[in-house]
Structure 1
């Protein structure tokens, strides 16, 4: 599925009938910035899963819905000035990362004022309640990565962004992204060695991914 030019020069927006390309998403963002409500809906539909997942990891799982909503609110206010110097998805994930950074700073201020980070407590309770499944254990390990390393790891290893795209989102050189991912993998392997919640095959997969 692709977007072709309409007689007016604006992209013709078609139905989202298969996986859109980066060019499709960018065309929808441009059209949405020009007032096309249908393009706006397609833009959101094509990007909301990645935005939610990024917010879930960089912000908190319990606040992911609110952080995703805030990301789109900020994006909508800026769509008319979106210049397509990068793909719309990269641009949107950059906004999501800033939203999450604001959320984390706010949560830390709340902790300092109240001596109790209730948001973090709820997030951990939600993540670790019930049986310690492999998913919950792995998520908990990723959650405890250093923030810059976590951002690079989630963007490239979980959302499928290229190193160049991750560098643009994180506003750093590609070499820095490579270094952060390598350090994140080392941190995960070290954590796996002492985490009794993970079974042996899962530990082996994580170790082998670090040596690949």
Structure 2
């Protein structure tokens, strides 16, 4: 339980500490910076509402990411996205020092990867984003997803296997069309 006298300063501290990580998670999950900004605000509104009742049984970071996961899934259910990842986000990640052909190859590779991630089941997609992109530990991921560490390991393994299969199909399709 957080002391109500210290609540305002604690909220500011939490916001400053976790905002960027939550925002990046939501950009990866939604593929939209605008949606991620809105959802990040929603996450911190929920954190604000629940912070006075936070009892410390969980790590604060995993509690916040659990809220972020629920907000993202609620958003996904409402929108029923056909594609969760957009190229505009990845164009910003490219280094300006690369040659045009290298940039094109990197954009294409990222597009293939994120289209394949977008086609994964939501629970596989979440574990790939948390473990593979955000680099959460198995225990942190299990707390966020509210499942056992064993399930995280199994889902991550299966998700990567499925991702590899999808990427092989995509790349073979591109090579076939290029002939």
Trace 1:86-97 onto structure 2 (pairs within 5 A).
Answer: 86-97=58-69
Q: Kindly report the root-mean-square deviation, in angstroms, between the aligned alpha carbons of the 2 structures.
A: 2.8
Select 2:37's aligned residue among 40, 60, 65: 65
How far apart are residue 127 of structure 1 and its match?
Answer: 6.0
Which is bigger in relative contact order (C-alpha 8 A, separation at least 6)?
A: 2
Trace 1:159-170 onto structure 2 (pairs within 5 A).
Answer: 159-170=134-145
Counterpart for residue 53 of structure 1: 24
State the TM-score, normalizing by the size of structure 1.
Answer: 0.64
The alignment partner of 1:44 has SS state of helix
How far apart are residue 39 of structure 1 and its match?
Answer: 2.9
How far apart are residue 122 of structure 1 and its match?
Answer: 8.9
C-alpha contact 2:30 2:85 (8 A) present in aligned 1: no
C-alpha contact 1:59 1:67 (8 A) present in aligned 2: no
Which whole-Å CA distance do the structure 1 matches of 2:86 and 2:61 have between them? 29
Select 1:107's aligned residue among 79, 90, 96: 79
C-alpha contact 2:42 2:71 (8 A) present in aligned 1: yes
Counterpart for residue 167 of structure 2: 192
For residues 116-135 of structure 1, what are the alpha-carbon distances to aligned partners after superposition, in whole Å with 9 as ceiling and x for unaligned?
Answer: x6xx5696475689x57033
2:12 is aligned with 1:41 = yes
Counterpart for residue 94 of structure 2: none
The alignment partner of 1:194 has SS state of helix
C-alpha contact 1:52 1:64 (8 A) present in aligned 2: yes
For residues 60-104 of structure 1, what are the alpha-carbon distances to aligned partners after superposition, in whole Å with 9 as ceiling and x for unaligned?
Answer: 424111111101111101110111111110000010111111111
How far apart are residue 139 of structure 1 and its match?
Answer: 2.5
Select 1:183's aligned residue among 149, 158, 175: 158
C-alpha contact 1:156 1:162 (8 A) present in aligned 2: yes
C-alpha contact 1:90 1:169 (8 A) present in aligned 2: yes
Which whole-Å CA distance do the structure 1 matches of 2:76 and 2:39 have between them? 11
Q: Specify the structure having the higher radius of gyration (Cα).
A: 1
Counterpart for residue 172 of structure 1: 147
How far apart are residue 37 of structure 1 and its match?
Answer: 2.9
C-alpha contact 1:71 1:95 (8 A) present in aligned 2: yes
How far apart are residue 193 of structure 1 and its match?
Answer: 1.3
The count of corresponding residues between Structure 1 and Structure 2 is 158
